């Protein structure tokens, strides 16, 4: 039988047809929508539809639906009467077995009269009640042990299973019957326990309390697992950090994970576990603090070296530069190198410092080459100028041998050719060199 009886369906359909006829424009469309909902209720299995559920099928489309018709449909939407059931059950089952089955159905209007006059006929119910009671009590006790004396997360998982089983057996107890006739039942069945509504309510409250405890404990363990993952990730992140920024970020994550351990409820088993882990985490963090102090010093040295390197790089731009400037640039590279050499081997920033040290030493070498080239070129140009002045004096002397003049001119050319490209004196040396070669060609023709 569906959730809407045929009789109720017919009553509602007649009213739907009437409401649809009143709306010539959208009535047919609304009727189709409402009838589909009613058909769905009629085909569903379960408890009979309530007045609110039936009203929801049409209230949006037909607000003028008759409330009297609705109440009539709700009244018709119920199971067959007791008399009909008895006739049907007797016809189907027949004999004593059918009668016993019928009177043990969970309907107070059947069982109350029988319990007063012939309680023996309710023996199957008594047996079922006794079984479910004993199972419920035993499972409640087991659940209580598992939940309140748990030593691991698995205890709560198992306790959750026992709580659900206990709830199932409690739900199977016809409490309304025990509440009215506990004396009759116990006097007949010889029970040694007194199961009353109060006892049932106490058991149900106990189950509810443990269910809430399990929920809280599970959430606490989930949070503990998440925090542990965050803590381990922060430790690993700190160990693998290569820069000061990365180490600072990892340190912040580490401290945040420790703070989160403190926030796990202390009354939970996970909270007690977190307290133990908190001590180890704080100890490791304090030990890391000593390392961090050295790391800060190393980071400062590296940052200082980078500042010297930056100044040297800026000063090196747009060469050529005079020797004094190359000396200043070399000094900046040396200062950066000296800072990097001060980073100890056991410091987390050592590898980063060594990488930069190799780069800075290479740049220093290039700077020193440029400096030496500038010095040598300036010296060669000056030597050439001195020789040229001497040659001019000799040319004014009457006793000067022309061959000696060509030799001196060649020596001047040699000095000018030794001036390196890319130096500040190179353009000037090229002008002197061009003039000297031209003069050499003139003298060679004489």
Q: What are phi and psi of 351, to 5 degrees?
A: -65, -45
The alpha carbons of the chain give a radius of gyration, in whole angstroms, of 51
Among 169, 286, 265, 193, CA closest to 223 = 265
**If you search the block for the tokens 């000296």, which residue do you land on?**
338
Terminal C-alpha separation, the chain: 136
9-13, 197-201, 229-233, 343-347: which has the minimum mean pLDDT?
197-201
Q: What is the pLDDT of residues 364-402, one digit of tens each?
A: 999 999 999 999 999 999 999 998 888 888 776 655 555
Within 10 Å of residue 432's Cβ, how many Cβ atoms? Answer: 19
Residue 333 to residue 355: CA distance in whole angstroms: 15
The DSSP 8-state label assigned to residue 48 in this structure reads P
**Do residues 79 and 46 touch, judged by C-beta distance below 8 A?**
no
* Token pair for 433: 């060199």
CA–CA separation, 100 vs 123, rounded Å?
A: 9
Q: What is the pLDDT at residue 362?
A: 95
pLDDT tens column, 96-129: 666 666 656 655 566 666 666 666 666 666 667 7
Mean pLDDT of 68-82: 77
- The arithmetic mean of pLDDT across residues 14-30, rounded, is 79
Say whether pTM exceeds 0.85.
no
* Both tokens assigned to 389: 């002045």
Question: If we measure between CA atoms, which residue out of 163, 198, 180, 177 comes closest to residue 130?
Answer: 177
pLDDT digit string (tens) for 162-206? Answer: 778 877 877 777 665 555 444 555 565 555 555 666 777 777 777
Tokens linked to 428: 């000037």
- Checking if the pLDDT of 5 tops 80, the result is yes
- pLDDT value of position 154: 73
Half-sphere exposure at residue 136, Cβ-oriented, CA atoms within 13 angstroms: 23
**Angle at CA 336, nearest 5°, toward 332 and 337?**
115
Q: If you average pLDDT over every residue of the chain, what do you get?
A: 78
């Amino acid at each position: 039988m569906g959730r809407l009886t045929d009789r109720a369906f017919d009553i509602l359909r007649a009213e739907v047809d009437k409401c649809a006829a009143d709306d010539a424009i959208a009535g047919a469309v609304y009727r189709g929508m409402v009838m589909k909902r009613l058909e769905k209720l009629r085909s569903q299995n379960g408890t009979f539809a309530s007045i609110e559920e039936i009203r929801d099928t049409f209230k949006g489309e037909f607000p003028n639906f008759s409330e009297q018709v609705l109440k009539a449909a709700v009244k018709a939407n119920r199971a067959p009467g007791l008399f009909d059931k008895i006739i049907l059950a007797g016809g189907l089952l027949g004999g004593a077995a059918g009668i016993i089955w019928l009177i043990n159905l969970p309907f107070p209007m059947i069982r109350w009269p029988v319990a007063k006059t012939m309680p023996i006929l309710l023996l199957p119910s008594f047996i079922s009640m006794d079984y479910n009671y004993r199972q419920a009590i035993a499972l409640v006790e087991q659940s209580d042990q598992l939940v309140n004396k748990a030593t691991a997360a698995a205890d709560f998982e198992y306790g959750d299973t026992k709580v659900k089983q206990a709830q199932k057996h409690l739900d199977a107890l016809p409490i309304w019957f025990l509440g009215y006739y506990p004396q009759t039942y116990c006097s007949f069945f010889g029970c040694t326990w007194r199961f009353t509504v109060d006892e049932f309510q106490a058991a149900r409250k106990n189950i509810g309390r443990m269910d809430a405890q399990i929920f809280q404990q599970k959430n606490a363990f989930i949070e503990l697992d998440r925090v542990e993952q965050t803590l381990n990730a922060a430790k690993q992140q700190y160990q693998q950090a290569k820069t000061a920024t990365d180490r600072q970020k990892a340190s912040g994550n580490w401290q945040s994970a420790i703070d989160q351990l403190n926030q796990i409820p202390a009354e939970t088993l996970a909270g007690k576990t977190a307290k133990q882990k908190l001590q180890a985490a704080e100890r490791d963090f304090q030990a890391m603090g000593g390392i961090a102090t050295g790391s800060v010093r190393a980071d400062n040295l590296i940052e200082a070296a980078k500042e010297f390197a930056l100044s040297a790089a800026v000063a090196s731009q747009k060469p050529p530069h005079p020797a004094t400037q190359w000396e200043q640039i070399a000094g900046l590279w040396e200062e950066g190198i000296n800072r990097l050499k001060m980073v100890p081997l056991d410091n987390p920033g050592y590898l980063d410092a060594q990488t930069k040290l190799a780069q800075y030493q290479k740049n220093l070498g290039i700077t020193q080459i440029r400096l030496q080239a500038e010095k040598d070129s300036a010296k060669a140009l000056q030597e050439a100028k001195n020789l040229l002045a001497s040659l001019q004096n000799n040319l004014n002397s009457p006793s000067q041998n022309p061959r000696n003049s060509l030799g001196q001119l060649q020596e001047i050319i040699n000095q000018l050719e030794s001036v390196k490209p890319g130096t500040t004196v190179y353009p000037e040396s090229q002008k002197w060199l061009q003039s000297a070669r031209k003069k050499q060609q003139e003298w060679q023709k004489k």
